Structure 1
Amino acid sequence: MKKKVLLMGKSGSGKTSMRSIIFSNYIARDTRRLGATIDVEHSHVRFLGNLVLNLWDCGGQETFMENYFASQRDHIFKNVEVLIYVFDVESRDVEKDMHYYQSCLEAIMTNSKDAKIFCLIHKMDLVQEDQRDKIYNERVLELQTRSLPLQVVTFRTSIWDETLYKAWSSIVYSLIPNVQLLESHLDNFCKISEADEIVLFERMTFLVIAHSTRVDNGDVHRFEKISNIIKQFKLSCSRTQGSFQSMEVRHSNFAGFIDYLTGNTYVMVIMSDPTIQSAATLMNISSARKHFEKLEGAQFSKSGVIVSSTVDLEERDSNGLQMHPITNTPDAAQENKARVQVLAFSRDGAYLATAADDKVMKIWDTESWKCLGTRTLIRRSNALEFNKDGSHVVTADKFGDIYNMVRDIPDVVAPVKTAETSADAEGDEDEGEQPILGHVSMATDLALTKDNKYIITADRDEHIRVSQYPKGHNIETYCLGHTSFVTNIKMLPGEPQKYLISGAGDATVRVWEFLKGQEVQTFGIRDALGMPPAEPDAEEDVAVFSLAICEKKNHIAVIMEKESRLLILQWNEPAAKVELFKVLELEGKPTSADYDRSGNLWVTIVPEEGKNDLVAVYDNDYVQQEDLTKYINTFGSKTVETIPDLFNTEELRKHTTDWRELKKAREEKEAARLAGDPDAPLSKKRRKNKNSRKIPENAAEASSSPATPSEQAQE
């Protein structure tokens, strides 16, 4: 179940800093490097099995705020469970802040009348200590008056102490269904184990979920202090390549034990007897573990949340951790029947588009994981992207055509178009599928600007084209400079967007001022990897396979074809250039990468022989976080007839021999090697095909000359 949480407040109030500390493993001093939130940033944070916080961090600049209350009002404030409004206690424009806050309340009353309201009076550390209570109480009184008839809960917060954890623990607590049932079982556990106090923490954020106390304690902030301390300790473990599992603390007055309880929680048990044996308490925790796992699974699980899994979800790993038995069994008519080649999420994360080798595109609702529609495309798609509001999906296919498709459309099968039918149907296009532009060679990637004004497309013939969207026949300019096929294009962070980055088969990444068609930088991959220059007559070079952008850190992850190293580049917008930040050594060859909203880098890899890891995750300091992927990477072996080629750049290269023959020859050689005969000859049929193929005398000219329409269609 998803719970929509709005995080709002004026620009500079500290929303993004607190979100990064709670959910992204930042420490307070590192938040200084965070940039301002642009428009709305979405984060999906999973708690307790199937409880997901759909967090909308809304940029607080005046232009955005006015849009939220006008053109985006229904979209922003619909189905809200919790509104969190952050006030900067040092703000000099309190009245405007209050005006925005009351506008939020009016929109909430119209669109989400049952939403809970929380106000955080933030940056209290900047107020003189002897004035804090007075100023806070004055703000609370004013907020309660202006919030009527709605009820508001207020907290004083600072990123420098435990008050931030106190506020967010209370917010999350209000969203947990049937939390009283959880607390009653915790009470029983406390009595049975004769503990003074037991506290339940969420595993990743270390926010307090529930607690049971048998002995009064005078420090009302003790839980939040513990959250703060333990999370800092966990981060310290990560930076030293370690991982936090459990902790035992002994004092002259007590003994404390922290250990995992379920796959989503840690438990802290406090005993007043400092001489108690560790084994006794740890045995009690172990005995309670199975009970709480069943309780959590029954309480929070529901079907339809796992899209794909390589692991039996009811099996335990080596540490005894257990995934809850939640599965997704789609209707047979909804299943993808072929390998999914490309996919894209809408900008708000509400929809997923997938396109497979069988030319079938599907649209999925990411909350229910139900298939909303299926369309059979004319040709296989090489790239997908949603437009700004998610109402359309733009697709680029292998023949160079770019289509603009309505998202909400019933299942349809595209007609097979011929030259005759296309001529007859001119001006009578399918309203759900509009061709907007075309290339004369295979389209390899596309990108839309945030404002939806421009579409940038790339092709096999080294071209990058900048066109108006959706009227793609209006060409703004071309970005020309690559000497081999272009594989990836991405918009670089900036407001307004001004620069584009591209990767290609010529071992370069290039930065463009795209509206001018001007190349501003060429970054050499070989130099960054310490590789010698390519031979002058070399037919192939290092190909950039994938690019991923992190707007929070202005980082670009660069994957090269069949290369086990991954480059991290730093984007310097004022200087309009990228610089090498880090080289990551992976245990396998990466196939794709992307950053999540928290700034973690997720990488899919082809594991080395003897390894089983399919996914690796790196935090903001690029330290690997194995606890995030242990379930994905716990899988068994299966014998298959063929393994698909996960690196599809071979068909983009312009060889003097057809790429299909080269690929087939490599596959036969690999099969022979696996069979123990690396020098096995080609089959008679393959030799005949190879010998009968005629190569033009001037092969270089033949390979670079444009294909005729019939040749292109055969390809």
Structure 2
Amino acid sequence: MEGDDGLNSDKVVAPALLALHPLCKFVVVCVGSQLRAYNLLGKCQVDVKYPSAQSRHEEAIRTITFSGEGKLFVSAGDDKHVKLWDTETWQCTKTVHASKKVSATAFSCDSKWLLYADKFGVVYAMSTKLQGEGLASSVVLDQPVNLLAHCCSIITSLKCTADGKFIVTADRDFKIRVSVFPKDPLQGAHEIEGFCLGHTSFVSCIACIDVGLKSQLLVSGGGDGTVRLWEIETATLLDTVDVRDEVGIADGNFESDAVIQASAITCVCVSCDGSLIAVGVESLDGVLFLKCDLKSKRLMLLQKLVLAEHFCPTSMQFDKNGWLWLVAGAAQKTDSCKENAVTWVKVVSSSLDDTPVFTPVELESIPGGSLLFETLDGTDSDVNKAFALAEAATIAMKNELSKRQYSNEHREFRKRLRNDKKLQRKV
């Protein structure tokens, strides 16, 4: 399918990603194979250092993550390269070659282990220590170990709880798995604590609420248009908010099938104190804010903030000051193998009232101002292109994660064409 601007939604399209340093030292935006970083304290662009031109990401980056204390950063994606970065120097200190395309990453709570998941449903663990430390070249090739697997289902999101007890993984097959973090990851994570079951379509994103509660909480969003709150240890569903009505309000049509089909949750994030949840929804030019009552363990809609026409966030994160950073846009490779990448970054703040009101932050109040946006948005920040690419990225995600439905006749026809049937052994 091709739109008016010539973009082909059937091609590989990668949504823009955003990550914030835990102490607000850096903000990073990835779009396609490009890695853009800005120093919020020094108010300057970060020079990301690769050991060589060949060590750059060759394909789309699909996941980026800072470690808990912010000393490490990881990027990985379609080129099957997992790259570990030292955020003091922004040098790539370790590169691992995965066997499949990487879909999610996370650090253990002590940052000693890096976990990454691939599109075959396997989670691997690798040490973050440098074997070549002190040598002229510290880039080494480690052999990751198989930690757990999801039986050939694409893993969409991966998190480690702040208390170090659990690994939480979400997948295409509507489920969220809670596994016990092993004492020795080299031996694998064989103990399953439970499954969070309730979504009726793919689970697109998860976020942990780590605020020192007796029971850790989890927020999830999915292709069914719902945001769900869970208790991690017992895998109990605590509350559900269906956002499809909010999309319907925006369009003035509650009964439209198109509205129902175009309401997948694209991203969720939780404020540092766990009281606020920001939600990105397909076809919503802005963001939904939910209140999380930590005592009653319930979710409540606070505000639907429409930011600008064609601004559908593809990634977002709260900083330690309560500001919400959002990015919209995506990257697509053209027929000439050139990368068409467009991003659009915005920042939102809230009032200090009991019932906060969220508004966009003025340019002069953001560290670095126009230089920050020039660094993160790049040279091409055309709004229409950003919208078209982000929409194409969402369609590509849904096509990949949505379970295909076949009639009985079609299913039998597909069985006859299978080429993986085992040959009978001759006696």
TM-score normalised over the length of structure 1? 0.43
In structure 2, give the amino acid aligned to 1:649: K
More strand by share: 2
d(CA) in 2 for partners of 1:643, 1:535: 24
Deviation of 1:548 (Å)? 0.8
- The answer to whether the aligner puts 1:549 opposite 2:267 as a matched pair is no
Deviation of 1:530 (Å)? 4.1
d(CA) in 1 for partners of 2:125, 2:69: 19
Match of 1:630 in 2: 370
Match of 1:482 in 2: 199
d(CA) in 2 for partners of 1:366, 1:575: 39
d(CA) in 2 for partners of 1:353, 1:481: 31
d(CA) in 1 for partners of 2:179, 2:104: 17
Provide the aligned length of Structure 1 versus Structure 2: 339
- The answer to whether the aligner puts 1:462 opposite 2:177 as a matched pair is no
d(CA) in 2 for partners of 1:443, 1:545: 15
Deviation of 1:539 (Å)? 9.1
Deviation string 1:680-713 (CA, Å, 9 cap, x unpaired) is xxxxxxxxxxxxxxx754559999x9xx9959xx
Match of 2:23 in 1: 43
Q: 1:646 aligns with which of 367, 384, 393?
A: 393
Q: 2:346 aligns with which of 616, 622, 625?
A: 616
Match of 2:289 in 1: 568
d(CA) in 1 for partners of 2:206, 2:255: 24
- Partner of 1:527, secondary structure, is helix
Q: 2:326 aligns with which of 603, 612, 627?
A: 603
**Range moving further from structure 2, 351-360 or 531-540:** 531-540
For residues 254-653 of structure 1, the aligned pairs below 5 Å read: 308=36, 327-328=47-48, 330=50, 331-409=52-130, 411=139, 430=143, 432-470=144-182, 471-494=188-211, 495-531=213-249, 540-552=261-273, 554-587=275-308, 588-606=311-329, 614-621=344-351, 622-625=358-361, 626-627=363-364, 628=366, 629-634=369-374, 636-637=379-380, 645-647=392-394, 648-653=397-402
- Partner of 1:528, secondary structure, is helix
More helix by share: 1
In structure 1, give the amino acid aligned to 2:101: R
For residues 20-169 of structure 1, the aligned pairs below 5 Å read: 43-44=23-24
Deviation of 1:517 (Å)? 2.3
d(CA) in 2 for partners of 1:457, 1:702: 34
2:247 and 2:283 in contact (8 A); partners too? no
Deviation of 1:630 (Å)? 2.2
1:615 and 1:632 in contact (8 A); partners too? no
d(CA) in 1 for partners of 2:166, 2:300: 27
Deviation of 1:324 (Å)? 6.2
Deviation of 1:646 (Å)? 3.2
Deviation of 1:514 (Å)? 2.4
Change in 2 beyond 3 A, CA 1:374/1:710: farther
d(CA) in 1 for partners of 2:413, 2:262: 20
Give the greater-gyration-radius structure (CA).
1
In structure 2, give the amino acid aligned to 1:615: V
2:159 and 2:168 in contact (8 A); partners too? yes
Deviation string 1:20-64 (CA, Å, 9 cap, x unpaired) is xxxxxxxxxxxxxxxxxxxxx952459xxxxxxxxxxxxxxxxxx
d(CA) in 1 for partners of 2:259, 2:344: 32
Match of 2:10 in 1: none
2:229 and 2:238 in contact (8 A); partners too? yes
Deviation of 1:501 (Å)? 1.2
For residues 166-185 of structure 1, the aligned pairs below 5 Å read: none
Deviation of 1:618 (Å)? 1.3
**Range moving further from structure 2, 336-345 or 642-651:** 642-651
Change in 2 beyond 3 A, CA 1:537/1:476: same
d(CA) in 2 for partners of 1:436, 1:651: 22
d(CA) in 2 for partners of 1:325, 1:542: 36
d(CA) in 1 for partners of 2:347, 2:399: 28
In structure 2, give the amino acid aligned to 1:623: T
Deviation string 1:539-594 (CA, Å, 9 cap, x unpaired) is 93511011111023611110112421310111101111111111111221111100
Deviation of 1:631 (Å)? 2.2
- Partner of 2:288, secondary structure, is strand
- Partner of 1:575, secondary structure, is coil
2:248 and 2:259 in contact (8 A); partners too? no
Deviation string 1:142-190 (CA, Å, 9 cap, x unpaired) is xxxxxxxxxxxxxxxxxxxxxxxxxxxxxxxxxxxxxxxxxxxxxxxxx
Q: Which runs of 5+ in 1 are unaligned?
A: 1-40, 47-305, 311-322, 415-429, 657-694
TM-score normalised over the length of structure 2? 0.70
d(CA) in 1 for partners of 2:420, 2:282: 31
- Partner of 1:308, secondary structure, is strand
Change in 2 beyond 3 A, CA 1:709/1:654: farther
d(CA) in 2 for partners of 1:461, 1:533: 27
Change in 2 beyond 3 A, CA 1:45/1:486: closer
Change in 2 beyond 3 A, CA 1:460/1:44: closer
- Partner of 2:313, secondary structure, is strand
1:568 and 1:581 in contact (8 A); partners too? yes
d(CA) in 2 for partners of 1:701, 1:533: 38
d(CA) in 1 for partners of 2:370, 2:216: 40
- Partner of 1:557, secondary structure, is strand
1:528 and 1:580 in contact (8 A); partners too? no
Deviation string 1:375-401 (CA, Å, 9 cap, x unpaired) is 011111111000011111111211111
- Partner of 1:651, secondary structure, is helix
2:266 and 2:280 in contact (8 A); partners too? yes
**Range moving further from structure 2, 643-652 or 561-570:** 643-652
1:562 and 1:590 in contact (8 A); partners too? no
d(CA) in 1 for partners of 2:119, 2:293: 34
1:443 and 1:457 in contact (8 A); partners too? yes
Deviation of 1:489 (Å)? 1.3
Q: Which runs of 5+ in 2 are unaligned?
A: 1-20, 27-33, 132-138, 183-187, 331-341, 352-357, 422-427
CA RMSD of aligned residues (A): 3.6
Deviation of 1:536 (Å)? 7.8
Deviation of 1:534 (Å)? 6.1
2:173 and 2:201 in contact (8 A); partners too? yes
